[in-house]
Amino acid sequence: MIPRVRPALTVLAAAGLLLAVPAPGQADERAPRTKTLVFEISLTPVSQDSHSLPGGVIYGQGTLEGTTSWGRRAATVEWQCSRALVDGAGPANDLVTIRRSSDGAVLALAVTGWITPRDGAPYRLDGSVEVLGGKGRYRGATGNGTVTGLPGRATLTVTVVQPHAAPRDAAAPRAWGDVGC
Domain ranges of the chain: 30-164
Tally of CB atoms within 10 A around 29? 9
- Answer for the pair 30, 20: CB distance below 8 angstroms, yes or no: no
Least confident span in 20-34, 37-51, 60-74, 110-124: 20-34
**Widest Cα–Cα separation across the chain:** 93
Q: What is the CATH number of domain 30-164?
A: 2.40.160.20
What is the model's pLDDT at position 20? 47
Residue 70 has pLDDT above 80, yes or no: yes
What is the percentage of the chain residues whose pLDDT exceeds 90?
65
Q: What is the pTM of this model?
A: 0.75
Q: Count of residues for the chain?
A: 181
Task: Return left, alpha or beta for 104; rule: phi > 0 is left, psi -120 to 50 is alpha, else beta.
Answer: left
Q: In which band, very low, low, confident or very high, does the pLDDT at 122 lie, cut at 50, 70 and 90? A: confident
Nearest to 66 by CA among 38, 91, 96: 96
Average pLDDT taken over every residue of the chain: 82
